[in-house]
Each structure stands twice: as structure tokens, then as C-alpha cells.
Structure 1
Amino acid sequence: MKKTLLFVFTLSGLSAQSAVFTEYHYVQVMKTWLEAQSYCREKFTDLATVSNPEENARMTSALRDPGSNAWIGLLDDLKGWRWSLGDVDLSDEFVYWNTDRPDLKSINETCAVMRADGLWADRECTDTYPAVCYDEKHPSKFILVTAGTTWHEAQAYCRSKYTDLASARTMSENEDIHSVVTDYTWIGLRRNTWAHWSDRRPRTFTNWDRSQPSQGRQAGSSCAAVSTAAGTWREAGCDTESPFVCEKVYTRKQQAFKLTFRSKADMNDDAAAQQRLLEQLHAQLEKHGLSDFKLRWTQRDGQTFHKEPEKKKKKSKGSCG
């Protein structure tokens, strides 16, 4: 009986689940956040990204010079406004903010209303206003909900009853929404604070110091720095000069091999036999000079081993008299 097996051969001693490893490097040179970002991208991979407590512990172990702050890669991008419908970025091709808006008076002013004149303004998401929903099946498309709710309550209501909060991605859409608005009214525009790292990975972990990030906001973007003494993070103006932490990301290559062998037994039901065969393969690869790798079986359709279809024998041509 002919069987087919699949296994993965991973370089660098890591399994497929650990194919990326990050080193952190403390750079004791005074630079602004943008200057530090350029330096890290040139010399390493990027400014430091910290995705979980384990990475945070390794990053803080690389810190030097206790008593200062060092830039990491987290940025509160003030241009990071997104439409609720489709979760798409606010395009530079059409914006309709009121003069001096967004004004950044509070870090919590991250939701948008449409005013009676059709212009947009930023407001705290916990404020209560009417809302305009979008209904892709409704003839008029835009429906005014007069009850005052927070932005998130309005989003949940519009998604449950219609399609979503209204998006104004063109002047035509803005005018259609404006036609049903009489005062400050929620639209589907919102900015997620501290949403991404320098390498564009989404923020999934924070280690802010107490009372950080600040609830007040001056004009301009804010960036995150780590205390070299406490290891906690704090907000700072991006134009401040500080040391910084870079990351060097190593990606381990992974290769898949398909082998064919003969066996009378069905090895899918014999875990011990699978392990013995894996050990034999490992020994043979080491014998041929390979090192620093790990092998594991992979499955397709819930099985590691698959019987090869039997090849049809060709019929020999004969002659008749």
C-alpha cells in the first residue's frame, strides 16, 4: 500500500507558530520621534512594536540610562479618521470639517457630528445627539434618528435597524445627509486613538503609566515613550528629542516537503509510529549536515497520510486475424 505524508521543515529551530522573532535595541542618541523612526528603519527594522507582555518584558530588559524616556513605535495619528461603514479611511479627496476642526481640545473628541450648515465637527463620543443612519435598501438611503444617543449607541442602533451610520465620502453624499440634519447629528466618522504602531501593526497591548495618556491635547500628534526606570509608557510631543528603542525582526523560512513511502499499516491512527518516523527523518537530515531546524507533521482533510490513487494499467494493443 502506497502512502503519502506531509511534513514541515523549519529553519532556525522554530516551529511555524514561532516563525518571527524580535530583538530590541536601545539607541542612546537624542532624536525626535520621526528622526528615530528613520534611523531605526535604516539601521534595523523599525521603531519598537510591543504586542504582548512577553515582548514588553524583553523590550524593557534592553533599556539603559534609568531616569529618561525613550521613544517606542506607538503613535496617536490625528489623521486616522475612519468611516464606520466598511471601516475605511477618511479620504483626503473629500473632507468637510468646520474651520479649525478637529480642534484636539480633548483626547476623547474622536467622533464626528454634522452641523446644521453641513460642516463636520469633532465631539466626545459619550455626548448625546441625534444620528443619521444609512440604509442601502431604503429609497432615500439616509434616515434621521431623532433620539439622542452616544456615538457607539447610534452605531449599534443603525447596524441593527438599517445598514450603518451614514458616510459622507463625496459632496453629493454630504448634501444628501445635510438635507435631513437640523442640528448637531452623529455621522459614521470616528478616530481610534493610539491605533497603530510605526510598522502599521494594530495596537493589541499597552503598558501606560498611571494617568497616561493625557486627557488634554495640544496641537499636533502625540507619540509614546517608555520610562527607562519604570518600564511604563507615557505620552509626549513627537518633536521632543529623546533616546529610542529599535526593533530588529527576524523571519524564519519555512518549507514543506511531500514524501512517498510504502506501509502496510494506516499510520493516521498510530501516533507513536508517527513520532518514531519523525525522529528517524530528523536523524537523517542531521546526518546530511542540516542543523537548527524543527520538523512537524501537517494535515490535510484531517489526516497526515493519504493513500495515492492507483494508476490505471495501460492495455496492450493486440492484433486480430
Structure 2
Amino acid sequence: MCSVLRSQQTHKLEATAGPSFLFRMSVVLLLVLTSSGLSVSSMSMFREYHHMKTPKTWAEAQRYCREAYADLATVETQHENNNLQRAIQKNGRFAWIGLHDDVFRWKWTMGDEDFNYDHKNWKDDGPKNLNSSESCVVMTNKGVWRDEICEKERPSVCFYEPGPSKYILVETMMTWQKAKEYCRSRYTDLVRVRNARENEEINQMLRRNAWIGLHRDLWSPWSDQSPTNFTNWNEGQPDNSGPNMTSCAAVNTSTGKWWDVDCEEEHEFICQTLIPPRTRFVLRFQSEADLTDPDIQQQILEQLQAKLEEAHELTELKLRWIQADEQTFHKKQKKKQGSASRAGD
């Protein structure tokens, strides 16, 4: 190990982790191999996409991708969408991606519980999910439930745990989100309906439709449970509504736009694998040793690799020197005596 540091040279290392990927990080580190404080930043994975040509239903495609790769494709950013476009073969067909709209998975806001199917009171065997936009629920003045657009303004029914009356009718017209916030700030939450008796008790308070605490997430999450922060729908999409809801997403391989398609249709599909990002380490060494000596180079690599494996469990990490500007090493020129600046500043 080096303990006396006098001369300074700048070099580059290439670090390979595992058989198929590189680390690249644009940072400058002062490396002292005897230090115990060497650290490697945690890095997000990026997605690599694979176009599968054998037609399958959405569920079959999901199962195949999970067994052979990681999952059906997730697209969280425009950058990932660009990568997806480069990975698919533009044949004009649909290809499944990992987004679907589970129109039957509802939750109560209070406790965020899954919908209790022991008691349901949908109007006309709903929900209808008109134009793929109705994800909040009202109780009508007839006591039945109907899914509606959450941005509509309605009265609401709050639940009040410690009160003599558990149900509080709020006549102020609010969106579903505002109603939830109001109920949580003044009472307990938007009301939850667990049985026919509670349904009837709430219904007796109503003169018009009012929000209750039942809701769902539209087109979220992705198959790999990532949140839906980015979409690339074709104009007029999604429009999965009615009794035969077409609630799985496919990319048109020619236009790159997304469509909602009947999940039972058979189409090509896109799988994904997760790859650590490529990161470059630019390491600044200070040593009195001759760093152009191959033996010294190898010693540095072995010491650095041992430190990384010990401190960060990077057992697949492989290090090697790479050529830069026609030279492996660039020795800095000595500063003239009296220079106000220090080498490396």
C-alpha cells in the first residue's frame, strides 16, 4: 500500500461487472488504497427490450417474459420509449407491453383495503369505466353504486370513528380527491360500505349522488409494479369501456403509439431485462511508484478489486486499464516554482 504521496498522475480504469455489463461514472476520486472510506454510489437499473414474435394473450406473454427474462416491458420515461422503438421490428402489428387496466380491482380509502366482494351494489352490474376514465364511486339516491370521473364535483359521505353518528353527509360540492382530503382533515375518512345494513343507513341520508371511499388506479401499476408516470397513447386511446372491456396495452410497432386491446387476443409482445447502468470511474492516483510499470498496474487493480469486493460485495466486478488519448497514462508537468495553484486543483 502507498503511504507517502508525492507525484501525481491521471489514469482511467474500465470496470466490468459480470459477463455482460460495464460501470461508467463521471466522477473524480482521490484513491488512497489504505482508506476504508471508498464507496460506490447505488445506481438505478435500466431496461433492455426484447421483441418476441410468437403471438400470445397478454397473460401468456406476461408469464413467458417472467420466466425467460424479467417481465413484460415497462416504459417509464420518453428515453425508455425511444429505446423501445429501437428494439421493436416495425411490422405494423400490435405487441403487448406490461400495462393493463384492472377494472375489477377497487380499494377503500380507509385502510386502503381491497374491495370487499361479499357486498357489492353496482348499478346495472357495473362498473362501466366509460372511455377508460371512471375510477371513483358514488352512491346514488337509490342506494346503488356507480363509477364516475373523479373530477366531477359531488357531495360526499365521511366516516367519523369517535362520533355518536358514524356517517357525516357533506353537502359541499367537491371532486373525489378534495372530498377525501376534507374527510381526513375533519373526520376519519371517506365512508366505507361493508354490508347491506351500512349501505341502507348511508342511503337514507342521500338526496343525490355522493362520493364514497371506493376507488381504483387507472392503468397502474405496470406488470413489474412500477408506477405509471409516462404514457404514449394513440389519439382517442384508451377507450376500454362497456361489458367487454379491452383493458391491456399494446404498442403499434409501426407508429410506436399505444392502444388498449382485448387481453384475450393473441399478439407479439415485448419483454424486458434489467441492466445496471454503464458507469465510468475516472481515478486520480498519487503515488511515488512508476505507474507505467505493468506490475504496479496489476497490483493497483488487485488492491482496488479486493477493496470493492470486501466493502460492497461486488463479487462479479472486473477491472482493467483502458487506453486514453493514445496513452494509458499522462504524467502531469511539474509546476514552476512559485506557482500559486496546486496540481489537481
- Give TM-score, length-normalised by structure 2: 0.66
Q: Is the 8 A contact 1:29 1:242 kept in 2?
A: yes
- 1:37-78 Cα shifts (integer Å, max 9, x gaps): 222223222211112223222222110133222110000111
Name the amino acid aligned to 2:249: A
Q: Is 1:136 the counterpart of 2:130 in the alignment?
A: no
1:35 maps to 60
Gaps of 5+ in 1: 1-8, 253-273, 295-321
Aligned counterpart, 1:112: 137
- List per-residue Cα deviations over 1:204-252 (Å, max 9, x = no partner): 2212233322375552341111121232222222122221101123579
User: Could you give the per-residue CA deviations for residues 139-158 of structure 1, whole angstroms, max 9, x where no partner exists?
Assistant: 21210012333323322332
Distance 1:282 1:120, change over 3 A: farther
User: 2:273 maps to what in 1?
Assistant: 248
Structure 2 match to 1:239: 264
Show structure 2 runs of 5+ residues with no match. 1-14, 24-39, 278-283, 288-296, 310-314, 320-345
Match of 1:284 among 303, 307, 332: 303
Q: Name the CA distance, whole Å, in 2 between partners of 1:167 and 1:275.
A: 64
* CA 223–293 in structure 1, closer or farther in 2 if over 3 Å, else same: same
Residue of structure 2 in register with 1:62 after alignment: 87
In the alignment, is the contact (CA less than 8 A) between 1:82 and 1:88 conserved in 2?
yes
Contact 2:240 2:260 in 1 (8 A): no
Match for residue 209 of structure 1?
A: 234
Alpha-carbon distance in structure 1 between the residues aligned to 2:225 and 2:274: 14
Query: 1:312: which partner in 2?
Result: none
Q: Deviations 1:74-94 (Å, cap 9, x if unpaired)?
A: 001111222222333213343
1:158 equivalent in structure 2 = 183
CA deviations 1:20-44 (Å, max 9, x no partner) are 3432110112222122122222322
The 1:133/1:283 distance shift into structure 2, 3 A limit, reads same
Distance across 2 between alignment mates of 1:89 and 1:293: 47
Q: What is the rounded CA distance, in whole Å, between the counterparts of 1:276 and 1:135 in structure 2?
A: 68
Q: Which has the larger displacement, 238-247 or 173-182?
A: 173-182
1:76–1:193 Cα contact (<8 Å) kept: yes
The 5 A counterparts of 1:166-177 are 166-177=191-202
Which residue of 1 is the match for residue 209 of structure 2? 184
Secondary structure of residue in 1 paired with 2:206:
coil
What code does the residue aligned with 2:121 have?
Y
Match of 1:53?
78
Q: Is the 8 A contact 2:43 2:276 kept in 1?
A: no
**Which of 169, 174, 195 is the matching residue for 2:220?**
195
1:308 counterpart residue number: none
**3-state DSSP of counterpart to 1:89:** coil
Structure 1 stretch displaced more, 193-202 or 9-18: 9-18
Residue 123 (structure 1) aligns with = 148
Distance 1:209 1:85 in 2: 35
Task: Give the Cα separation in 2 of the matches to 1:275 and 1:170.
Answer: 71
Corresponding position of 1:230: 255
Corresponding residue for residue 341 of structure 2? none
2:61 maps to a residue whose letter is A
Name the CA shift for 1:194/1:242 in 2 (closer, same or farther; >3 Å).
same
Pick which of 11-20 and 131-140 moved more. 11-20
Contact 2:131 2:239 in 1 (8 A): no
Residues 10 and 160 from structure 1, CA distance in 2 versus in 1: closer, same or farther, beyond 3 angstroms?
farther
User: What letter is aligned with 2:189?
Assistant: D
Distance, in Å, in 1 between the alignment partners of 2:301 and 2:76 is 33
State the shift of 1:287 in Å: 7.9
RMSD of aligned alpha carbons: 3.4
Counterpart of 2:343 in structure 1 is none
Q: How many correspondences in the alignment?
A: 265
Q: Is the 8 A contact 2:156 2:190 kept in 1?
A: yes
Q: 1:225 to 1:185 in 2, by over 3 A?
A: same
Distance in 1 of aligned mates of 2:78 and 2:67: 27
